[in-house]
Amino acid sequence: MNKLLKNTLLLSVGVLICGSLPAQKKQLSDTEMWDNSVQITDPAMQVTAWTKDKVVLTSSSTAMFAADLRTGKISPYKSNTLNKEVDFTVNIKDDNVYLKRNNNEEQLTNTPEKEKNPVLSPDNKYAAFTRNNDLYTIRLADKKETRLTTDGSDVILNGYASWVYMEEVLGRESHYRAFWWSPDSKYLAFFRTDDSQVPVFTITDSPGQGGYVETLRYPKAGENIPQVKTGIVKPDGGAVVWAAVPDGDNHYFGYPCWRPDGNALWLQWFNYGQDTLKFLETDLNTGVSHEIYSETQSTWIEPRGVRFLKSGKGFLMASDKSGWNQLYLHDMNGNLHNRVTSGSFTVNDIIYVDEIENVVYFTCNKDQLAAVDFYRVGLDGENLQRLSFGNYTHQINMSPDGKYFVTTYSNAQTPPRVALYANNGKFIRELQNTKNKNFDHYEKPETEYITVRSDDGLFELPLRIIMPLQMEAGKKYPVTISVYGGPNTRSVYEGWENTFGGETHRLAQDGLIQAVIDHRGSGHNGKVGQNYMHRNFGYWEIKDYAQIVRWLVENKQADPEKIMLTGFSYGGYITCYALAYGAEVFTHGIAGGSVTDWTLYDAIYTERFMDTPAENPEGYKSASVLTHAGNLKGKLLLTHGLRDENVHAQNTFQLVSAFEDLHKDFELMIYPESRHGYRGEKRKHSYNSDLRFIYENLLEKPVPKEMIK
């Protein structure tokens, strides 16, 4: 019998240890700690497919198993019995577009220019792509190429996003793509971006005799933003229809979406101040738009999506207008039908909508601040039911018909377990417990999830802490705290993190308390907590972080003379800010890719939360690390990539200049030819440099040789 299958079938069999005294737990040797030769958990099985009567799972060894949906009975499964879809895709190869049918490739374009982001139409009859910032299609039947736009240039971008739109609106996973097929393949919607008034930022680097120069259209806070229009065009060409929207071009768009029937385009429009959101339904022939939905908040609104009902009778939308992200049901004209969920908790994701039973399944943090639970509720807002269980974070995979789900659940003390349930919450079968025979026989760091009350008594602040091995009563231990800190960006979750072996284990062995913390605005406490950050970066983050540190000192033997923050990007900002503004509490820091003054970061992100520098001069001044640089008295290591196109290295250099003028000591590590995050040998060097800083300043001994990369 397959070993994994055997272990799975024997999940309920415990290990009995005879004798009256607990067995002495083994310690990892240095070799075992770094070569991963000893594991205390097995990788969790992943859901591969659902069939009519089985759920198919794959182990780390690629072995496949199937669990009967009625009984949970497990048996081996052969992959060739699955129905495989035909591999019909387009991709870029040697800068040209290729069509791939299973294992056969066919070249569709052949030009010296670079093509980007090819996407098949839903009916597989066309491929759309961009070339030199113009939008093209190619008809697969006869390879007829059609140029849909003609004014593309270095500042006019058709179907290709400006940097700031990619970073802050469409997301890095878009790869700058800014065009979308209609579901019936009859139209393409696209953004036309005019970057001509956006300031140019110049990046320089050091290689070769002449160095390196790069320019980028990058709007900083208070500067001109890209002017974006939305066009609609047919794949065989013709006149572009431009969507008519409020305020001319002085606005932002979020992701557009098509009505499921393809008869209209829905635009997600934001005013320049980013506190008003409108969904606009646009006529495909005239471009005339009418309002479907409108919402204004006193602080800010971020882009969101809609979930159309298959019946065509309405849509679900999540909104945090109540202070907590909740679900609302609207008809197709945008009229509110009813509120679906209510309460002081955050709805994370819609997992499934059953329109026959009129039920929606979703994840949320209703039962524990930093956990993920699974619920269902009627579309009428009645009969809310918890389907998950315990103080765990649940990862849910639901069957296509919504009748069953598999949960992979864990918490700080419990490694992942995989179980099969019916959609009413009825337990069918545990499929895997990843805890293996070594789990109870080896010493491992104690990991806890805790909440700390904010000093004003209004919020619970989540903390995840890994304690040193073999602690001594009365002894104080140094602390490293990992932070990010940006609005609605959670770092702490109540889930399993394998601390056995490697860097984390060795640091615990050498006497380091390792923590991850979040503040009131990180997202756990909804928009209620986030709103505190409006026009006021830095203040509440440090206030809440300092409260957690005080708790650690009082309750967990933390050494108040050795409290180190470490973070990158916004986390780098918070680390620098803490060592300056919060210098009475935070004594050490490693800050990478840091924003040091918010006038130096991009307009969309910064103005969303801070408004413009002209509107909020005191807020920008207070939030700047430069303002508080004279307070630095701890030890701070700054790192930055010279080619960082996201958070420009000028941030760190301006802080360096301020420190030098104030005669403040600090450490600096610059990484040439590196972006926002270091790669290759530079990454290894940064890792080693960070370890040296920790061991030298917190643990006061050399870095163990086996840890050095």
Q: For residue range 556-584, list pLDDT tens digits in order.
A: 999 999 999 999 999 999 999 999 999 99
Q: pLDDT for 510-530, tens place per residue?
A: 999 999 999 999 999 999 999
Q: 447-707 — its CATH code?
A: 3.40.50.1820
Out of 393-402, 477-486, 499-508, pick the least confident: 499-508
8 Å CB contact between 590 and 637:
yes
Start and end residues for every CATH 3.40.50.1820 domain found in the chain: 447-707
pLDDT, tens only, 332-344:
999 999 999 999 9
Name the CATH superfamily, with its identifier, for domain 86-294. Answer: Dipeptidylpeptidase IV, N-terminal domain (2.140.10.30)
Q: Please report the pLDDT score of residue 10 as a whole number.
A: 29
Give residue 18's pLDDT.
36
Q: Phi and psi dihedrals of 289, rounded to 5? A: -115, 140
Q: Are 671 and 641 spatial neighbours (Cβ–Cβ below 8 Å)?
A: yes
Structure token pair of residue 565: 């923050």
At residue 280, what is the residue type?
A: L
d(CA 350, CA 316): 9
> What digits encode the pLDDT tens for the residues 263-279?
999 999 999 999 999 99
Could you report the per-residue pLDDT of 597-652, keeping only the tens digit for each?
A: 999 999 999 999 999 999 999 999 999 999 999 999 999 999 999 999 999 999 99
Cα–Cα dist 190/317, whole Å: 23
At 9, the pLDDT band (50, 70, 90 cuts) reads: very low
Mean pLDDT of the chain: 93
Whole-model pTM: value is: 0.93
Beta carbons within 8 Å of 357's beta carbon, 6+ residues apart: none
Q: What is the distance, to the nearest Å, from the Cα of residue 285 to the centroid of all Cα atoms in its chain?
A: 37
Could you tell me which of 601, 552, 594 has the C-alpha nearest to residue 577? Answer: 594
Q: Give the pLDDT band of residue 3 (cuts 50, 70, 90).
A: very low
Q: Is the pLDDT of residue 374 over 70?
A: yes
Q: 3-state class of 195 per DSSP? A: coil
Stretch 85-95: mean pLDDT: 83
Range list for CATH 2.140.10.30 in the chain:
86-294
Query: CA-to-CA distance for 598 and 579, rounded, in angstroms?
Result: 17
Given pLDDT bands bounded at 50, 70 and 90, which one contains residue 102? confident
Q: Per-residue confidence at 7, pLDDT binned at 50, 70, 90?
A: very low
Q: Are strands 447-453 and 460-466 parallel, antiparallel or unpaired?
A: antiparallel
Give dist(CA 541, CA 342) in Å, integer.
27
Q: What whole-number percentage of the chain has pLDDT above 90? A: 89
Q: Flag whether pLDDT at 13 surpasses 70.
A: no
Q: 168, 605 in Cβ contact below 8 A? A: yes
Summarize the confidence of residues 282-307 as an average pLDDT: 96
Distance CA 295, CA 276 (A): 6
